[in-house]
Amino acid sequence: MTILVFYIFVHSLLAIIDQITRATTHIRTQAQIGCNGRQEYCIRKYSNVTHIATHDAPFIGVLPMENQNVDITTQLDGGIRFLQAQTHLNAFGKLSLCHTSCVMKDAGLLKDYLKVIKEWLDKHPKEVVTILLTNGDKISGIEFEKPFQQSGIVPYAYIPPKDPGMGTLDSWPTLGQMIANNTRLVAFLDYNANQAKVPYLLNEFSYFWETPYNTIDPAFAQCTLDRPAALRKSGPKADAVKQRMYIMNHFLDTKILGMVVPNRRDAKKTNAWRGRGGIGEQAERCSAMYGKAPAAVLVDYFDRGEVFKAQDALNGF
């Protein structure tokens, strides 16, 4: 236990030094042009755009269970258009943003998080934002309806056609169409979504599959299909795989006394476009296997490295 406390102290001290060093670093503010910052995206289907996504977006700070350096509004202002967050029930039975458990890290109520995103969308009419929520306690997806309604964000939510052809890439509208219709929020839940009752909260694995997470190999020398489990035995050319988008998990962890924690020290290398273990190297491996780029690249500490250079390149710019 003493060693663990010492590690947390040293990790936090190094993180604080890192924050001070970066105090004068400017996080770019994306220009409000076209659709999500580019005219070209206006005619692209949602399923044909690669987004850099912030992993554990609301867990902000310098402790080992915190995965980002800046708050949600700053992430969005800086160009992030895909936010991922863990949810759990807190001690009062309310849906909260909790890292692994609400004892370890509670970043506040889900409804307040959604309200921040809603207020940002209010001010940025040419932007489409995606949120992915994990359902840590595997509760009914219907329980998520209340915080969504309380936040006021529901009018922005994209609802697929009644028969979307689940997972069919061509069923998605273009970003321009979504903006014109003011359906500029796409919301996914990883487990127990109930689209019959809550049609705007989409079942993640009907539309995506994911590569493995909690990676401790800095080379990211794999691109296997990890979730959903039902697709693991499917080959890259199986229709169920080809007709889904995919999420490339590209956040590096490290093990300390058996605990898996984010690797802050090497974030700049992990988030580089080129080089061993960079985003480009893994994305090229995945693209070669599956014939298309990832729809989302999940990263920690997005403000370290070259994540937007990677995003531009993966979108052909």
Return all residues near 184 (Cβ < 8 A) that are at least 6 apart: 121, 125, 127, 128, 129, 156, 158, 178
Q: Return the closest-CA partner of residue 248 out of 287, 276, 274, 218.
A: 287
* CA–CA gap between residue 55 and residue 80 (Å, rounded): 11
Helix ranges, 22-124 (H): 72-77, 110-123
Q: Cα dihedral sign for 160, 182, 178, 53?
A: negative
Catalytic residue among 11, 88, 99, 250: 99
Which SS3 state, helix, strand or coil, does residue 96 take? strand
Catalytic residue among 55, 88, 124, 250: 55
* CA–CA gap between residue 241 and residue 290 (Å, rounded): 8
Contact 247, 208 (CB under 8 A): yes
CA end-to-end span of the chain: 49
| 55 flagged as catalytic | yes
The alpha carbon torsion through 176, 182, 184, 185 (nearest 10 deg) reads -150
Contact 265, 259 (CB under 8 A): no
236: β partners: none
Active site residues: 55, 99
